[in-house]
Structure 1
Amino acid sequence: MTQNVLLVEDDMSIAIVITAALEAEGFGVSHCVTIAERDRMLADRGFAALVTDVMLPDGDGIETIERVRALHPHMPIVILSAQNTLDTAVRATDTGAFEYFPKPFDIDELARTVRQAAGTAQGLAADGEEPVADGLPLVGRSAAMQSVFRMITRVLRNDLTVLILGESGTGKELVAEAIHQLGNRREGPFIAVNTAAIPAELIESELFGHEKGAFTGAVARHVGKFEQAAGGTLFLDEIGDMPMQAQTRLLRALQSGTVRRVGGREEIRLDTRIVAATNKDLEPEIAAGRFREDLYYRLNVVPIHMPPLRDRRDDIDVLARHFLQHAANEGLPRRQLTKEAADLLSRQPWRGNVRELKNFIYRLALLAREDVIDAEAVLPLLTQEAPPPAEDGGAPRAVDIATAVSEWLAVNRPPSGSIYNSAMAAFERPLFAEVLRETAGNQLRAAQALGINRNTLRKRLGELALDPEEFARRP
């Protein structure tokens, strides 16, 4: 017997693609474009699953899910949305949706998910919690951030330990805050500890507390971070830098569910969610004996990988405007970015990731002379941002090709229509010059080293105004 799926999607091109994929999976598909049509069809019959967009011509698909639940409480629901924010992901999850797909999505993955949903004996029940407020800490609509949002939504209704991985400045603490603010422990405290900033001899006291007289200077009982976080979330930042002795104590606490203050005998039952983060690759640290493998597996129950800003360039524009708004809220002049200025920012390497971008935007808001910031106003500050060249005798700064291209485009962007030829000339000239220098101007050896035809090399040298004899004359 053919199972039928109800698809609610007003974009006909997307609807056609989804319908074809579901029919290839053996489903019958009924399609409508409005909430009113959806409700009428659901009143008449049941479906194996509902696939619905959020923004529909007559309302918000998420806000009206309650009506769907009233008619068919066990029907699994798959939500699609072009509103790719953490707020949308959380709202979708709070409905008890089987899955949430931000657009654009993998059509094959969607079809597999609907097949899985339809085979589920009972759809996930809505938990009836109040809708999450706006003002969420994370910003981003790129595919990389959508993966982060989806992982966050999976840990909101449980207390599984989370390990957040990513470079410095990517927003790992914001993820921890989001998990706390949106999860079951939101009414409890959020306690953040930078384990790299605490002296090794004090870290156990800071985490687990100490009794009066436990060591010199312990003049009173001290309640540690684990106890302070009771009923809430304990965020252990830079966990990869935790001293080995403290790692052993932390592992014991996670295994037993209890902590003991330094110098104490009482076992104190833990009532906190653990979220840890590190900018280090822990597997090499384990191999080097600097991090306990058993602790790694205790912490790495649910890993969340924060992408570097270079892997989410689509977010730089929205992040920049977000930070300009925050800067204005904090008393700095209210500024706006032109499209050209935003494009220029999006081409930068941002080695310090989101933290570096935020600091730059605040500085830009302070120093810009006009309320509307164009590319000409951005460029001088970007030039100031560039790291200084190596001093005489120092090692040159290592730059990868992607970074070099971004920096070159930022400073020397050719007119539209000539970017490729200009970029190839800018790349080939120093490349050919370096190889000719190595071969003392010998074109045959240079062509062999480059892996190109000698005539091709000779032609390009003429076009680039490079004289091989100049390199032959150099000592």
Structure 2
Amino acid sequence: MNAHILLVDDDTDLLKLLSMRLTAAGYRVTTATTAEGALTRLAVELPQLVLSDVRLPDRDGLSLFGDIHARHPTLPVILLTAHGTIPDAVAATERGVFGYLTKPFDGKLLLAKIAQALSIATPGGQAGQNDDEWRAPIVSRSSLMAELLAEARLVAGTDASVLIRGDSGSGKELLAQAIHRASPRAQKPFVAVNCGAIPEQLLESELFGHIKGAFTGAVSNHRGLFQAADGGTLFLDEIGDMPLPLQVKLLRVLQERSVRPVGASQPVPIDVRVLSATHRDLEAAMAAGQFREDLYYRLNVVSLQLPNLAERREDIPLLANYFLTRLADKYQKQLNSFAPEALEALATAPWPGNVRQLYNVVEQVCALATAPLIPLSLVQRALRAAAVEVLSYAEARQRFELDYLVKLLKLTDGNVADAARLADRNRTEFYRLLQKHDLSPGMFRSTPGVAD
């Protein structure tokens, strides 16, 4: 796909001439004649580069650049003027403008400047081309995601540690994989581990490895995930759930660039780029003493914030149809599209579970569909099912017991003898239930009374 350039100039003849020249050079061009028109265009679709005149009817190009830079700091801007001076050029470049050319300008020089800006904005790709393979699984056309992906592409070319923030289901691991694919380490392993899903006693061995006999059950040497990712990328998902003792050891690994397997006497050197992710507020966790500040700053060299699905609603129809195509193959059904009202229902739903929840809804629709066009009724049914919280039997019983005990104790004003009688349980058994749910009779007494 050709790179997209936004041209901003109130001279319609020059705008037409530049559009023809850039289109002939292989670029996709959109235009605006005012600064406000340019900002509107940017809100609709983010280009790879902005080429703007300095003198515009509503305000000057440097003021427009200030707005662009505040909203999209990685978007390169080249300014054109018939009134250029050296001080203007110096001031513009100091503020972050990529290029500053004086009219009349040389066409070859302009094309060279554009190619240079695009090569820096999309490292690893050819100027004038937009290679989307690295981010292919991330389906989006929203300006929020376009800006996030532009930042991700820039940081991918470095070895900086990246902390990806976002709610559950927003696609943190997909973004981590995209950064790995766009990096110089793309041909090496990408290894992911969920720090909250592995028991604490096993996590150290999984990350750093162990030697034979290091503990009961260690019948052979085991390479940890750091060694498995050597030369590539290790993705630490839900890093906020990592126990404090392991945070100390992880910090040492990042500082010394070597791991010591459990039971080993010598460290093993490693070359790993670390990406991490969390849905937790790590600043609050640090304040509560649950996350080490030194580790936080080591992991958070660059921070990327994934938006919730509700913040990028323009992507919902795109994602729904993308999932429909994939799942139609899985279920071996002829499913073409959603009815317009069905797509509207999807686009306006709240989506607390983000992209993962949308995928689950589309999968249910595909499993039940009997016609190529998905009707509104089927989408509404899937959305209702998604809204119902499904608990395990143990969780449902636990929740029922707590609700039941609270209602009984409120009814009896905290009198355990009366509550146990109503529940048809003896007092000893009833007290055990209260202890299990961390309840005290005194919490329910309207006036202080004699202890039971």
| Native 8 Å contact 1:238 1:279 kept in 2 | yes
User: Could you give the per-residue CA deviations for residues 123-165 of structure 1, whole angstroms, max 9, x where no partner exists?
Assistant: 5667665755387111111222122211211112111111111
Aligned twin of 2:99: 118
| Native 8 Å contact 2:159 2:273 kept in 1 | yes
The Cα RMSD (Å) is: 3.6
How do 1:1-400 and structure 2 match up within 5 A? 15=7, 18-19=8-9, 31-35=17-21, 54=28, 108-110=66-68, 113-114=77-78, 115=92, 116-118=97-99, 123=116, 131=131, 133=133, 136-335=136-335, 336-387=337-388
How far off is 1:81 after superposition? Answer: 8.7
Structure 2 stretches of 5 or more lacking a match?
32-40, 52-63, 70-75, 79-91, 102-112, 391-398, 405-452
| Number of matched pairs | 327
Which TM-score applies when normalising by structure 2? Answer: 0.64
| Native 8 Å contact 1:84 1:140 kept in 2 | no
Distance 1:276 1:347, change over 3 A: same
User: Could you give the per-residue CA deviations for residues 181-237 of structure 1, whole angstroms, max 9, x where no partner exists?
Assistant: 222111001111011111111111110111112122212111110000011110101
Task: For residue 201 of structure 2, give the secondary structure of its aligned residue in structure 1.
Answer: coil
How do 1:394-473 and structure 2 match up within 5 A? none
Which TM-score applies when normalising by structure 1? Answer: 0.61
Task: For residue 360 of structure 2, give the secondary structure of its aligned residue in structure 1.
Answer: helix
Structure 1 stretches of 5 or more lacking a match?
1-7, 22-27, 40-51, 58-79, 100-105, 396-475
Distance 1:20 1:337, change over 3 A: same
How far off is 1:329 after superposition? Answer: 2.7
Aligned twin of 1:459: none
C-alpha separation in 2, matches of 1:182 and 1:20: 38
Amino acid at match of 1:387: V
C-alpha separation in 1, matches of 2:202 and 2:247: 13
C-alpha separation in 2, matches of 1:226 and 1:376: 49
Distance 1:333 1:226, change over 3 A: same
Distance 1:37 1:255, change over 3 A: closer
Moved more, 277-286 or 108-117: 108-117
C-alpha separation in 1, matches of 2:22 and 2:216: 72
User: Could you give the per-residue CA deviations for residues 311-343 of structure 1, whole angstroms, max 9, x where no partner exists?
Assistant: 111111111001001102323423211221111
Amino acid at match of 1:34: M
Moved over 3 A (4+): 28-31, 35-39, 80-85, 106-113, 122-135, 388-395
How far off is 1:54 after superposition? Answer: 2.5
| Native 8 Å contact 1:232 1:273 kept in 2 | yes
Counting aligned pairs with the same residue, the percent is 38
How far off is 1:271 after superposition? Answer: 1.0
C-alpha separation in 1, matches of 2:401 and 2:211: 56
Task: For residue 155 of structure 1, give the secondary structure of its aligned residue in structure 2.
Answer: helix
